[in-house]
Structure 1
Amino acid sequence: MTQDVAGSSTDVLVVGGGPVGVFLAALLAQSGLDVQVWERRDTTPWGSRAIGIHAPSLDAFAAIGADVPVLAEATLVRHGIARSRGRTLGTLSFARASDTHPYVATLDQHRTEGILRDRLAAWSPDALRTGTSVTALHRHRDHVDVEGTGPDGAPIALRAGFVVGADGARSTVRDLLGIDTVGRDYPDRYVMGDFADPEPVSARSTALVDVGPDGVVESFPLPDDRRRYVALVGRGTPADDEVDAGTLARTVRERTGAAVDADTCSMLSGFRVRRREALRVGIGRVVLIGDAAHEISPIGGQGMNLGWLDAADLAPLLTDGVRTGSAGPWPGYARRRQAVARRAARQSEANMAVGGRAEGPAVLAREALLRTALGLPTADLLARLYAMRWA
């Protein structure tokens, strides 16, 4: 027998309690809407995963008071240095990338999620329902009837004014709507890991990108004197022996000279890269945001930020829709967000191209290009691009 969720109707149901869904829910709750978040996971988030928080996201966080606690814990990256074959090609400063946040903040994803959950709980203590999954959507002119399963596996039902799919690249909401995606898979494979930071104290607020002949090694400082390394290791699915702390530490040492200690590894992951775009970002009163609507390469650290900016754009539309009784879709929203996602995807593709393996003249040409780009006054534009001031 299907059970009604306590308070069997809500203004907005957000499916997916990751950083994007919880941020959207907090924005809506802070505006006075009744909101529920259904999150399939029943465990407390843990792990570093996505770490970069760009200036537009920090500006958006201010609306719910999340910017202050995030910045209290984060490391602030104020410069990026490009290197190759043991030589510095140039430095990129974020000093003029933003009037409010002239840096990129880095923080383990589980801590960012924790802060956003705390802000949601401040306005709606019972909004987040973990261990809860959606199984069916029945769309009507003025509401959506939602079916799901609760923490005990029992069927549940809820009536929502709007439903938002913030449930990631393998979105159940998108599948239930029958929305297809288009895109491509890239052959490059990467391994990333977090280690004790071997760089001198003077570089603890600096991102380092080495674009030597064997492929890119990126590194970003993290809180507690740690550093995230991301290395191109080849093409195809990473082999088991590549996703190994000792192997990654050795790769970093050989390509960059950094004395990474494998025994200090606190996170390790191998990944492939793909790009996907939903053919529609919603139907009627059901909307997709974040990776459910557009998945891009993690190289460049823009994906999670795109989701937050989707949420910031969508929240006032949902608030107005609830208060006036109007329904989506909102074509202007869809055009804006997918256009931003495509631009971010192109930027990520350019980052991957610059960091690919190269030989002979191609290495020299790449080094010359970076020296020129980072040495011109227009380097400030590159900083703004990386910091997503266009989003």
Structure 2
Amino acid sequence: MHTERTDVLVVGGGPVGLFLAALLAERGIDVRVWERRTDPPVGSRAIGIHPPSLDAFAAIGLDTAVLAESTLVRAGVARSRGRTLGTLTFDRASTTHPYVATLDQHRTETLLRERLKASVPGALRPGTALTGLTRDPDHVEASGTGPDGAPVALRAAFVVGADGARSVVRDLLGIGTTGRDYPDRYVMGDFADPEHASARSEALVDVGPDGVVESFPLPGARRRYVALVPDDAGFAAAEGTATSEPDPTVAHRLAALVAARTGVSPDPASCTMLSGFRVRRRQADRVGSGRVVLVGDAAHEISPIGGQGMNLGWLDAAELAPLLAGAVRTGVAGPWPGYAARRQGAARRAARQAEVNMAMGRPLGPVTATGREALLRTALALPTAHGLARLYAMRWA
């Protein structure tokens, strides 16, 4: 069996792995990406692209292409029981991108694939699954199966595990994780936008007593609704899926829940995506071993509430790429002082913020809900509210 050689093998061709590969290619590093999926990207899934990520995209000229297709969210509005509690604007959150961009994940992935293909044709290997790693002092031997089931082998100076929360790379390294599961359960769906035209550039968060409903504008006059749901509310069919052919019964159920909590009625017939998820937090005990490194969800999984997980992975990649490129050129492997501490520290901070977001959106009795509303109204009215905007825009990351 022929053994291919490359500088860096990235395992996982999702948004984080593709971005890292494109960054390395931009620096002249020979790179391959093994992606077990054979089909092109589909589905909406993660949508938020924060200012630091847009800044990082500029390194490969991707920021312009992403922004050309995105909707720009310039403010977030907090509501409860039909009343507006306050507005948080992003105009001071970033000097380069005073907004959060929203774009369906499949489009972001497609743009990343195209950018990588333009730099290194054939770098992405769909249908290739990693099955083994053998580490030597000056290289790593990777083995796997190709699209036809035949064995494949590759020798790389470095391997990066960008293969998600259930990382095969992490398992092969024997790296454990610590964390916890949360009781919260959410359902999200994309609908034709029923909000008033003036709200098309606003994210909306309703923190009423029955549980939170968040919504975000999307390209094509669509809006995503994310709702905290009780376990017995009949949403089990949506859990673990992100289908473009949503169950009509679940779409009606979600639309009715949104209407009951917010007074806004999405059209169930316009639903183009449904997904249900529970929440957990995990952090790898180490971000790698020798010439193998973990990034993104393989290194740190956080709650999707707040939309920061994918962006954390992109920022991992932005910091790791120059370190890897330097190591390839010098032949000297890490560790790189401070890298692991900085990236895992950023993940812990994002996870704590997500926990606060979840706590603020849980059901409360009428009296306690009134207290929460007063707290939010005061926080959003303070002169320091722009600091909250920077926090939500990940300007600390």
TM-score class, shorter-chain normalisation, is over 0.9
Summarize the alignment of residues 1-391 of structure 1 with structure 2, pairs less than 5 Å apart. Answer: 2-4=1-3, 8-235=4-231, 239-240=235-236, 244-391=250-397
1:297/1:303 contact within 8 Å kept: yes
1:229 aligned counterpart, secondary structure: strand
Change (3 A) 1:236 1:118: farther
The alpha-carbon deviation at position 122 of structure 1 amounts to 1.3
- Cα distance in 1 for residues equivalent to 2:112 and 2:63: 10
- Cα distance in 2 for residues equivalent to 1:386 and 1:230: 17
- Cα distance in 2 for residues equivalent to 1:3 and 1:273: 43
- Cα distance in 2 for residues equivalent to 1:238 and 1:66: 41
- Cα deviations by residue, 1:105-164 (Å, 9 ceiling, x for unpaired): 000000000111111111101100000011100001110011111111001111000000
TM-score under structure 1 normalisation? 0.97
Change (3 A) 1:281 1:242: closer
1:82/1:210 contact within 8 Å kept: yes
- Cα deviations by residue, 1:159-195 (Å, 9 ceiling, x for unpaired): 0000000000000000000000000000010000000
The alpha-carbon deviation at position 249 of structure 1 amounts to 0.1
Runs of 4+ in structure 1 off by over 3 angstroms are 235-239
- Cα distance in 2 for residues equivalent to 1:109 and 1:222: 11
Change (3 A) 1:242 1:49: closer
2:230 aligned counterpart, secondary structure: strand
- Cα distance in 2 for residues equivalent to 1:238 and 1:118: 40
The alpha-carbon deviation at position 330 of structure 1 amounts to 2.3
Q: Which amino acid aligns with 1:167?
A: D
Q: Which amino acid aligns with 1:292?
A: A
The alpha-carbon deviation at position 200 of structure 1 amounts to 1.1
- Cα distance in 2 for residues equivalent to 1:103 and 1:161: 39
- Cα distance in 2 for residues equivalent to 1:345 and 1:278: 14
The alpha-carbon deviation at position 97 of structure 1 amounts to 0.3
- Cα distance in 2 for residues equivalent to 1:331 and 1:134: 29
1:60/1:309 contact within 8 Å kept: yes
Change (3 A) 1:48 1:99: same
1:11/1:160 contact within 8 Å kept: yes
Q: Which amino acid aligns with 1:166?
A: A
1:213/1:359 contact within 8 Å kept: yes
The alpha-carbon deviation at position 234 of structure 1 amounts to 2.0
What is the RMSD of the two structures over their aligned residues, measured on CA atoms? 1.2
- Cα distance in 1 for residues equivalent to 2:355 and 2:236: 26
The alpha-carbon deviation at position 325 of structure 1 amounts to 0.7
Q: Which amino acid aligns with 1:297?
A: S
- Cα distance in 2 for residues equivalent to 1:354 and 1:213: 10
- Cα distance in 1 for residues equivalent to 2:233 and 2:37: 26
The alpha-carbon deviation at position 331 of structure 1 amounts to 4.1
Q: Which amino acid aligns with 1:342?
A: R
339-348 vs 359-368, greater mean Cα deviation: 359-368
TM-score under structure 2 normalisation? 0.96
The aligned counterpart of 2:247 is none
Task: List gaps (5 residues or longer) in structure 2.
Answer: 240-249
Change (3 A) 1:112 1:241: closer
The aligned counterpart of 2:244 is none
The alpha-carbon deviation at position 361 of structure 1 amounts to 2.0
The alpha-carbon deviation at position 368 of structure 1 amounts to 0.6
The alpha-carbon deviation at position 319 of structure 1 amounts to 0.3
1:234 aligned counterpart, secondary structure: coil
Task: List gaps (5 residues or longer) in structure 1.
Answer: none
1:194/1:227 contact within 8 Å kept: yes
